[in-house]
C-alpha cells in the first residue's frame, strides 16, 4: 500500500471544557452537548474534546484530545 503525508492545513478549533462557555457550534440539549457535522449528523461531545470548524464555517467535527495533540500544533504567526 502506498504511503501519503497529510497536507498542512490550518484549522480553527476550541476545546470543550466543563465550566467554560460553549465553543462555537456546540448545542446543549437535555444535558448533552453535541455538534452538527458536515453530513448533518449529530455528534456528541465529552468534556475535553476539541471542536474543529469545517472550511465552510458552518459545520464542525469533534476530535478526542489525544488525537488532537498527535495531529495538530498551535499556529505561530
29-64 pLDDT, tens digit per residue, is 898 999 989 888 999 999 999 999 988 888 999 999
| Residue 12 three-state SS | coil
State the Cα angle at 38 between 65 and 24, rounded to 5°: 55
Q: Look over the chain and give the mean of its residue pLDDT values, rounded to a whole number.
A: 91
DSSP secondary structure of 53-74: E-TTSS-EEEE-HHHHHHH---
| Structure confidence at residue 76 (pLDDT) | 78
Phi and psi at 42, nearest 5°, equal -90, 125
Judged on CB neighbours under 10 Å (0-12, 13-18, 19+), 45 is buried
Does the pLDDT at position 67 exceed 80?
yes
Phi and psi at 68, nearest 5°, equal -60, -45
| Structure confidence at residue 6 (pLDDT) | 74
| Structure confidence at residue 9 (pLDDT) | 84
Ordered by start, the domain boundaries in the chain are 13-71
Amino acid at each position: 500500500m502506498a504511503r501519503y503525508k497529510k497536507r498542512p492545513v490550518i484549522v480553527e478549533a476550541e476545546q470543550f471544557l466543563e465550566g467554560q462557555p460553549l465553543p462555537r457550534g456546540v448545542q446543549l440539549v437535555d444535558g448533552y452537548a453535541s455538534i452538527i457535522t458536515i453530513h448533518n449528523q449529530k455528534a456528541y461531545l465529552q468534556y475535553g474534546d476539541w471542536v474543529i470548524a469545517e472550511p465552510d464555517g458552518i459545520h464542525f467535527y469533534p476530535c478526542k484530545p489525544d488525537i488532537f495533540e498527535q495531529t495538530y500544533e498551535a499556529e505561530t504567526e
